[in-house]
């Protein structure tokens, strides 16, 4: 696991994890914790939440000292809100976790190391703090020059529609087939799952495409870099991050992610979700700047709010309309998308 630390000095942090849900107000607010519980269940010993939190991961409810006694090494601040700031309750709980002997890691925009009470608690207990939303090392400006290797990027209608889940599902499927494939994390949850990556939304705008080039360098082994997408070209707040990833990734293939029951862009009630084909065409057009041969190879649908029958009908309808395989990666797998990827990018 990572050897990056801050505030308390360099030190080790890693699993087993206690997942902190705090006072999360909605299901999307705990996506970091949910992602870890789903993709790395063997790393997660329990969850900690306030009585007002109505959401659960189904893990044992543990206090901080109980989690330490159960073998937890690190508490992951697994909840988030708009803006990525810590509430007073979260600060109090982070201090208590440090006093119980746990390291603490977070992927919020507000850094652990910027809070004096948290820093003091880490120092007096000899614990490590790690802020995942902070790029490490020097990032170059993107140059757009063609580089060796094959790359796939997940894109989407909106934020939080399943781009990380889809990318990890593709990696798992391809590896099971004996294909060299590597998940490249660009968000805080992905970084915790993968043990490394670059938090793209914290990179200065001029360097976003360079960060994508850095995270997926030239490779000569015939394998695939599977790059976790962020945001949406149609989200007024986050389109810049999405565009930089499209240019820097130089993707050979795009997989489009969508949640059909969402009526508006996340956090922006006045902005409706874009039409799927319009959005996909815009992503392809933007990607062609650095890879004119890019292809769309599949659609990943988040059908968690649909019945099984509704999900099947919608997948068939979208597949027919776009002439692409359409599946829910969680409930249906991604095999048809991988089949199409390999057929479209055989050379």
Half-sphere exposure of 63 (CA within 13 A, CB side): 5
Closest CA to 332 of 318, 344, 315, 317: 315
Task: Give the angle 234-305-227 at the CA atoms, nearest 5°.
Answer: 45
At 171-195, the pLDDT tens digits run 999 999 999 999 999 988 888 888 7
Band the pLDDT of 160: cuts 50, 70, 90.
confident
Band the pLDDT of 4: cuts 50, 70, 90.
very low
Closest CA to 264 of 273, 276, 274: 273
Report d(CA 166, CA 52) in Å as an integer.
31
At 225-242, the pLDDT tens digits run 999 999 999 999 999 999
Band the pLDDT of 345: cuts 50, 70, 90.
confident
Of 245 and 201, more confident = 245
Q: pTM of this prediction?
A: 0.85
Question: Residues 6 or more apart from 346 whose CB is under 8 A from it?
Answer: none
Neighbours of 31 (CB within 10 A): 22
Q: Which domains does the chain have, with CATH numbers?
A: 17-131 (3.40.50.720), 150-344 (3.40.50.300)
- Percentage of the residues of the chain whose pLDDT score is greater than 70: 94
End-to-end CA distance of the chain: 35
Band the pLDDT of 83: cuts 50, 70, 90.
low
| Cβ-contact 215, 233 below 8 angstroms | no
């Amino acid at each position: 696991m990572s050897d990056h630390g801050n505030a308390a000095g360099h030190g080790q942090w890693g699993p087993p994890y206690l997942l902190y849900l705090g006072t999360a107000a909605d299901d999307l607010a705990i996506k970091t914790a949910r992602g870890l519980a789903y993709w790395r269940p063997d790393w997660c010993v329990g969850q900690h939440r306030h009585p007002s939190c109505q959401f659960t991961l189904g893990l044992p409810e543990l206090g901080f000292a109980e989690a330490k006694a159960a073998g937890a090494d690190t508490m992951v601040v697994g909840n988030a809100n708009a803006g990525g700031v810590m509430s007073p309750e979260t600060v109090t709980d982070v201090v208590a976790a440090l006093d119980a002997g746990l390291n603490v890691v977070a992927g919020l925009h507000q850094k652990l190391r910027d809070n004096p009470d948290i820093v003091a608690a880490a120092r007096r207990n000899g614990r490590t703090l790690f802020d995942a939303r902070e790029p490490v090392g020097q990032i170059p400006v993107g140059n757009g020059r063609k580089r060796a290797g094959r790359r796939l990027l997940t894109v989407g209608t909106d934020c939080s529609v399943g781009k990380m889940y889809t990318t990890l599902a593709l990696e798992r499927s391809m590896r099971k087939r004996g294909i060299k494939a590597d998940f490249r994390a660009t968000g805080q949850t992905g970084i915790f799952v993968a043990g490394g990556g670059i938090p793209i939304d914290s990179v200065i705008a001029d360097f976003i495409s360079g960060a994508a080039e850095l995270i997926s360098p030239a490779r000569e082994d015939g394998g695939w870099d599977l790059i976790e997408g962020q945001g949406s070209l149609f989200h007024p707040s986050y389109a810049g991050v999405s565009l930089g990833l499209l240019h820097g990734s130089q993707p050979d293939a795009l997989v489009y992610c969508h949640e059909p029951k969402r009526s508006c862009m996340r956090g922006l009630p006045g902005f409706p979700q874009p039409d799927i084909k319009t959005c996909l065409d815009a992503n392809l057009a933007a990607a062609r700047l650095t890879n004119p041969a890019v292809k769309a190879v599949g659609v990943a649908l988040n059908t968690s709010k649909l019945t099984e029958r509704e999900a099947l009908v919608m997948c068939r309808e979208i597949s027919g309309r776009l002439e692409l395989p359409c599946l829910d990666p969680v409930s249906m797998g991604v095999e048809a998308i991988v089949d199409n990827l390999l057929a479209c990018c055989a050379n």
